[in-house]
Amino acid sequence: MSNRFPRVGVIGAGQLARMMVAPATALGVDLLLFAENAHDSAAQITHYVVGDYTNLAEVLDFARQCDVVTFEHELVPLSVIKGLEAAGIKVYPSSSAFIYSQDKAAMRAKLARFPAPHSKVITKASEITSFPVIAKAISGGYDGRGVWKVNSQEDLSEILRSTSPLLIEELVQFDTEIAVMVARSPHGQATSWAPVETVQSDGICIMTITPAQKISQATAEKAQQLALEIAQEVGVVGVMAVEMFVRDDELFINELAMRPHNSGHWSIEGAVTSQFEQHLRAILDLPLGSPEMVHPFVVMGNILGGEKMDMYRPYLHLMARAPQLHFHQYKKEVRPGRKIGHVTMAGDDLLHLTQEVAHARDYMSGVIDE
């Protein structure tokens, strides 16, 4: 049988690849994953090969079996992406865009004309004389790791001993953190979803609320416009998260993630087109789907690993209590603080949604037991 449907290769087989499986199946698009091992979240449910994503020869072997290649984490070395490009492989986002999600200093320089915290790259503590500041590893940080609030030159010296150079940023006293998800295709069609409020605890996002409530309509529109302009500026293809801080009606770009992102998970049930389907459409250069919301409000809660190991039994209580809840299991080993799943609820009573999602999230994690 001739198969005119393309095959998409995804480097990485975590939960983001896992959540791409359902829309790929619906579209009839084949997915082939490049997994670290057979137990990876997405390798449990679709075709994969196992390999080392830092080894260009292995990634090339994989990529040659696919029509287009994308990746679901920021750890793929830029040299590997460039190696794929040099071999004529279609890979999105391209190395020229991806660098801005991997290298925070390059991103700050590239986006100098956009509103952002003041920043500079340093190698010596004496370069900073007024505190507190935020210090960031230039690459490799996630979920607040690689980000420090620093109060003195001594503390800065200590961090520089293990991490140098550092990106130093002005500490923004923001009212709220938001993320705007955008998608852009190779021929430049771009679209964005409603801004999302990301509620953080200890540097980890524990809940998202869409549309973001603590900002005005004008600020929401400005945020979407900024995210679309940034997508164009960096030339991303695929889905990208633009994280921002909001202070009054002022916006500050925090960082970019060029892949489906935790702050877009709500779109699976809450938007006409989910971020996972949109990513596939974008990298395949298909017309993009509507990002419109299908409910007035959508709340998502991240389930973090805790004491509880059994993630199935809680369904009995939670499904009986709130039939509108949606569950997503990543089927990852439960480890303290690790994102192992999420729950989503959509509707028109925001207070009810946040209460039920917080309850389900904490019950699944084992923080509460009734």
Question: Side-chain half-sphere of 326: how many Cα atoms within 13 Å?
Answer: 14
The DSSP result for 10-78, as a single string, is: EE--SHHHHHHHHHHHHHT-EEEEEESSTTSTTTTTS-EEE--TT-HHHHHHHHTT-SEEEESSTTS-H
**Considering beta carbons, is residue 201 or 290 the nearer one to ligand ADP?**
201
**Considering beta carbons, is residue 40 or 243 the nearer one to ligand ADP?**
243
- Residue from 72, 197, 255, 277 touching ligand ADP (CB under 6 A): that is 255
Q: How far is the CB of 240 from ligand ADP (least distance, A)?
A: 14
Distance of CA 45 to the CA centre of its chain: 21
Q: Which residues contact 149 (CB under 8 A, 6 or more apart)?
A: 132, 133, 134, 171
**Considering beta carbons, is residue 124 or 149 the nearer one to ligand ADP?**
149
Quick check: 304 and 338 in contact, CB under 8 A? yes
Identify residues 107-126 at the interface with ligand ADP (CB under 6 A). 117
**Considering beta carbons, is residue 172 or 272 the nearer one to ligand ADP?**
172
- Residue from 60, 160, 172, 272 touching ligand ADP (CB under 6 A): that is 172
Identify residues 193-222 at the interface with ligand ADP (CB under 6 A). 200, 203
Amino acid letter, 349: D
**Considering beta carbons, is residue 28 or 203 the nearer one to ligand ADP?**
203
Q: How far is the CB of 179 from ligand ADP (least distance, A)?
A: 10
Nearest to 142 by CA among 192, 208, 72, 209: 72
Q: How far is the CB of 145 from ligand ADP (least distance, A)?
A: 6
**Considering beta carbons, is residue 40 or 103 the nearer one to ligand ADP?**
103
**Considering beta carbons, is residue 103 or 243 the nearer one to ligand ADP?**
243
Rounded distance between C-alpha atoms, residue 28 and residue 2, angstroms: 13
Q: Phi-psi category of 66—alpha, beta or left, where left has phi over 0 and alpha has psi -120 to 50?
A: beta
Q: How far is the CB of 286 from ligand ADP (least distance, A)?
A: 30
Q: How far is the CB of 177 from ligand ADP (least distance, A)?
A: 6
Identify residues 18-77 at the interface with ligand ADP (CB under 6 A). none
Cis peptide before 211 (omega within 30 of 0): yes
Greatest Cα pair distance in the chain: 69
The tokens for 166 are 């550092």
Q: x/- contact string, 129-168, with ligand ADP (CB under 6 A)?
A: -----x-x----xxxx--x---------------------
Quick check: 303 and 342 in contact, CB under 8 A? yes
Verify binding: residue 102, ligand ADP, rule CB under 6 A: no
- Residue from 243, 258, 325, 366 touching ligand ADP (CB under 6 A): that is 243
**Considering beta carbons, is residue 32 or 150 the nearer one to ligand ADP?**
150
Q: Count residues contacting ligand ADP (CB under 6 A)?
A: 18
Q: Which residues contact 297 (CB under 8 A, 6 or more apart)?
A: 209, 210, 211, 346, 347, 348, 349, 350, 353
**What angle separates helix 275-283 from helix 15-27, to the nearest 10 degrees?**
70
- Residue from 26, 86, 109, 171 touching ligand ADP (CB under 6 A): that is 171
Residues found near ligand ADP in the complex (CB under 6 A): 117, 134, 136, 141-144, 147, 169-172, 177, 200, 203, 243, 254-255
